[in-house]
A and B are shown apart, each in its own frame.
Chain A
Amino acid sequence: MNYSNTFLAMLFRDLRIAFRQRAEIMLPVIFFVVVVSLFPLAISPDPTVLKSIGPGVIWIAALLSILLSLQSLFRSDFNDGSMEQILLSPFPGSLLMLARIVAQWCVTGLPLIIISPLLGLLLHLDAHVILVLFISLLLGVPYLNMVGAIGVALTIGLRQAGALLSLLVLPLYVPVLIFGSNAVISAANDLPYNGQLLWLAALLVIATTLSPFVISSALRVSCSYR
């Protein structure tokens, strides 16, 4: 049995599926941009105000748009029976789920990270602050994808899955939100921000090692009834 081939097969299958529904993969990014651009309208277009709220606004918008994109993760696999076949394959569920999340991150997390400097400009953040924002999202967003996927795996197939998912997942997002937005705020105030970024990296390592196992066992449980 060749693990890396199967990992890649799973990854490319999901990427292919995602790119064939282009409209759907654009939605989280568009949502991200729209939410951020609402804040100047609701609060104030004053650059000093925007500078101070900017990091938090971008982080919360990123978090919400990941949460939005999670709703459809596993859904079609669950409905069309592919999930059964994935669970019954001789390969470890954690390996296949890791591929699934990497694909999900490529189509939802990555575009969001790439577009974030533009939003930083809209909120009048300085160049070096934007760089820290970019790095913090690069380290933090995969965590959001992975921990979110645990919530999806637990709520898949339930009636009120969407609302329940937010309740399960948002409290778990708190540490990343705190360290992520704080790194950017510190950078804006010329304070050291390495500690926060290292925390984000540590959380990412923990999530990468544990979450694939948790996701696959949660899916096994969720798929054991219809």
Chain B
Amino acid sequence: MISPASDGISELCADNLHYEINDKLILEGVSFSVKSGEMLFIEGSNGSGKTTLLRILSGLMQSDEGKVNWNGKDIEDERIEYNQQLTYLGHSTGVKAELSTLENINFFSALSGLPQKENAQTAMEWVGLKGYEDNPGRHLSYGQQRRIALTRLLMEPSQIWILDEPFAGLDKKMISALETRFKEHVHDGGLLVLTSHQHIELDQVNTSRLQLG
């Protein structure tokens, strides 16, 4: 039906995006393009519009002017296909306090709509949550909740990753595991857009940088 991540080339293009909050132009004519096998690193101080830009790229928000194109088509017109290829991690983790780790992970898989690349056990091991399968979300720390959300990066076969501060609340070990995963993703033909306060440098990864604000 729809090709999994490794096939085909994707290109995500922002074309002259404008966005205004309370009479202040947060984004003014933002344009860029990222292709499969590339990473876009968005830098900027607090309030410079990083999160807004990522939300516009994911399709959660609409820009006042300009368009986001995916392989030459407006993402608004390609919602289903685009969402299938998209993994978006925002500030909020999407982890339910009442559900156990495993139930949360299973629900993410059900929402993604494609067969998962890895099973839940492997993913939990990867984020270091083995042994926490049955703990409800409310008994986990913020860092652990973020790790639950991160399992999606191992399981979902999506090509486009849009990640807002993926390193927030994580320890060094998890950060380096994530960096390795980012490299794998980009080398497999994935496309990565992320923001971070930390300056990250991934060797052998085709990185472009965008300074906001």
Contact = CB atoms under 8 A, between A and B. Distances in A.
Interface in A81-103: 81-82, 84-91
Nearest to A19: B98
Most chain B beta-carbon contacts within 10 A, residue among A86, A90, A91: A90
Contacts of A82: 94-96
A84 B84 contact: no
Contacts of B106: 9
A90 B84 contact: yes
Given A17-B98, A90-B84, A84 B60 contact: yes
Interface in B80-110: 80-81, 83-84, 86, 88, 90-99, 103, 106-108, 110
Interface of A, secondary structure class, is: helix
A88 B60 CA distance: 7
Nearest to A223: B60
6 contacts: A5-B110, A17-B96, A82-B96, A89-B83, A90-B80, A90-B113
Interface in A1-32: 1-2, 5-6, 9-10, 13, 16-17, 20-21
Nearest to A20: B98
B98 A89 contact: no
A79 B93 CA distance: 10
Contacts of B114: 1
B195 interface: no
A2 B1 CA distance: 12
Contacts of A160: none
B107 to A, nearest CB: 5
B48 interface: no
Most chain B beta-carbon contacts within 10 A, residue among A10, A82, A86, A224: A82
A81 B83 contact: no
Interface in A40-71: none
Contact of B108 (A79, A85, A91): A85
B116 interface: no
A9 B92 contact: no
Contact of A87 (B1, B60, B92, B110): B60
A85 B111 contact: yes
